[in-house]
Chain A
Amino acid sequence: MAPGGKTHLDRGHLLFLLKEMLRIRRFEERCAELYSAGKIRGFLHLYIGEEANAVGVMQAIGVDDAVVSTYREHGHALARGIAARALMAEMYGKVEGVSRGRGGSMHVFDAGARFYGGNAIVGGGLPLAVGLALADRMRGLARVTVCIFGEGAAAEGAFHESLNLAALWKLPVLFVCENNRYAMGTAIEREQSQIDLVRHAESYGIKSEAVDGMDVVAVEVAARRATAAVRDAGAPYFLENRTYRFRAHSMYDPELYRSKAEVEEWKQRDPISKLDAWLRDAGFLHPDDLRRIEDEIAAEIDDAAAFAEAGRWEPVEDLARDVVAPPPAPRRDAAA
């Protein structure tokens, strides 16, 4: 785990990275329990195993930058700074949710965090990211749009159209492909003619690199290098984060498509255990530290769940709100 880029590998930062990954893991473990308890419904796609990617990438961007994500976005949202309370209330479908409960697990939006979903159509967010970056360019704003998607999206037309547009128009988009090897239940070898995804991006003239998505420091270093390149060149960059999800695709997935041995093998590379072990070996982490971190996280999640539980259901009378925005008044009418 060599330092690089502008990543500061001091003890405080490393403990922060560990805590951020643990927050995501414990939050989602609670979500799974709440799903079984019937508090959370619909689709719930857990990110467990992939936490290093969200945490590493979010270290590289600032408050003015934008994030476009997918339906497996709880980790991205938490790492982006969206409050656990608002996120959990969204899972419950309560008015206090970050999307007012209208979106649920798959549709987290937060204007304050410049977090533009939560897109549940595979590949659907990529054109949006291109457009956000186009707007920044036209407005003369030096901002980066981070666009996160899975390797399944690389088979979609929208992926290729978006990479082509971003490269053609030299737009400041950081494409982050979280390659967890399975498009739902279809292994990458069974759905891609070219499984080295970096080569897809390179074919559009986009600077690209693959990174170990089970290593939070490696991800942070690569993401800092990538965002710096996007800012310097005003052009897109492509990261392929090679990672793995430990849990099923969603709560309905019996996981018939992969072996338990394979999952166990990847769990040996758990990004949290890995950082934890490294910190212990380096003498940076004392048992008390971990206990304190776990206690703080447990308190935050208990608070989030209580907040969501106490939240309000939107009155049915308000069903049709926020379908269309009210038009500006007064309406001009030149015709008779």
Chain B
Amino acid sequence: MSATSYREAVRAALRDALARDPRVFLMGEDVGRYGGSYACSKGLLDEFGPERIRDTPLSEAGFVGAGIGAALGGMRPIVEIMTVNFSLLALDQIVNNAATIRHMSGGQFNIPLVIRMATGAGRQLAAQHSHSFEGWYAHVPGIRVVAPATLDDARGMLWTAIEDPNPVVIFEHATLYNLEGDLPEGAGAVDIDRARVRRAGRDVSLIAYGGSLHKAMTAADRLSAEGVEAEVIDLRSLRPIDDATIMASVRKTHRAVVVDEGWRTGSLAAEVSARITEQAFYDLDAPVARVCTEEVPIPYPKHLEDAALPQPEKIVTSTKALMGSHA
């Protein structure tokens, strides 16, 4: 084991992919000389050169579409969109091209493309730099959507995504880049299909992903101190969603709280909640609860931003209310 950070794990994954496969290249705004907006690609320009660590203009539709074209043309591009907020400028290319071309072509063409982007709020960046649109992307058939929340996944999901013949969108929560921990020396590829039980428990299932996973873990610790043993599920893959792992947990605990940094209305949490209701209704002892972002553009002042976002206290309160509903 060696001490590392989420950022370093992402960088190690990029370096590994670039070294393994000459078809792989990284393209995006400030990935080269600047070293990446979040410093994920720092040093890679010197190692791999400007053809493979390719700085782009501020042209999200242009370079994401070029990534799709390059994937069609036999390359294995990794396109970095600086943040999910700017990905809206490329949404047409992702939804209308990357997600559809295999189907529209009757299976003739695959798009082996990886799109990475930072997501989420929590750093006082106000309404235009704090979005969580994982749920929007997860809505679209034809792409895969993953959210690495741990060092293992930051290190291991990228290679599996590159090997996948489909477009894979990787969401890296911006508050996680400084996350520190240990990784095994030989850490490598991991699956991008299944959810994981990050903490075992018998009383309630807390279902989260990305940045919210750590809030759910904190909440689970606090609940444990009060005698409630929460099981914490990390969704990891947001499309497809691993129903089996979720339902196995809910059938054991009989209660579920879904935590999602997206707005509640039309959220990924709504989807997970509906699936539990469809598949495990008769195993539930209480309605499924959701802890989501309040229905407000994210405000700048810290106390208001904190109040808008899911927090461990909200998860604890919501969970205790569920336990109470059966008391």
Contact = CB atoms under 8 A, between A and B. Distances in A.
A325 B72 CA distance: 14
B105 A109 contact: yes
Contact of B59 (A103, A119, A164, A323): A164
B69 A138 contact: no
A158 B73 contact: no
A334 B152 contact: yes
Nearest to A173: B69
Interface stretch (A51-59, A124-132, A242-250): A124-132
Interface size class of B (residues with CB under 8 A): 35 or more
Interface in B104-144: 104-110, 141-142, 144
Interface residues of A, number: 52
Contacts of A134: 66, 69-70, 73, 75
Interface stretch (A16-24, A93-101, A227-235, A254-262): A93-101
B65 A127 contact: yes
* A-B pairs, 7 with minimum CB distance: A131-B69, A127-B65, A100-B106, A135-B73, A161-B62, A109-B105, A131-B66
Interface in A142-201: 157-158, 161-162, 164-165, 168
Interface string A295-336: 000000000000000000000000001111111100111110
A332 B166 CA distance: 17
A102 to B, nearest CB: 5
Given A331-B160, A333-B191, A325 B103 contact: no
13 contacts: A109-B106, A111-B109, A117-B101, A121-B92, A127-B64, A128-B72, A131-B69, A133-B73, A134-B70, A135-B71, A165-B66, A327-B163, A333-B190
Contact of A130 (B69, B164, B188): B69
B189 interface: yes
A99 B65 contact: no
Interface in A103-130: 103, 107, 109-111, 116-119, 121, 124, 126-130
Contacts of A162: 62, 65-66
Nearest to B102: A322
Interface string B53-70: 000110101111111111
A131 B163 contact: no
A103 B105 contact: yes
A294 interface: no
Contacts of B68: 127-128, 131
Interface of A: 66, 68, 97-103, 107, 109-111, 116-119, 121, 124, 126-136, 138-139, 157-158, 161-162, 164-165, 168, 321-328, 331-335
Given A127-B66, A333-B191, A158 B106 contact: no
B72 A116 contact: yes
A327 B104 contact: no
Nearest to A161: B62
Contacts of A328: 163-165
A332 B160 contact: yes
B238 to A, nearest CB: 14
B103 A322 contact: yes
A101 B51 CA distance: 38
A55 B165 CA distance: 35
Contacts of B301: none
B62 A127 contact: yes
A43 to B, nearest CB: 14
Contacts of B72: 116, 128, 131-132, 135
Contact of B75 (A110, A116, A138): A138
A223 B56 CA distance: 29
B165 A131 contact: no
Contacts of A335: 152-153, 156, 190-191, 196
A98 B109 CA distance: 12
Identify which of B25, B109, B153 gathers the most chain A CB atoms within 10 Å of its CB: B109
Given A111-B108, A118-B104, 15 more contacts: A102-B103, A102-B106, A116-B72, A121-B92, A124-B97, A128-B68, A131-B71, A132-B70, A138-B75, A158-B92, A164-B59, A164-B62, A323-B103, A324-B141, A334-B152
Nearest to B63: A165
Contacts of A325: 102, 107, 110, 165-166
B96 interface: yes
B59 A161 contact: yes
A333 B68 CA distance: 27
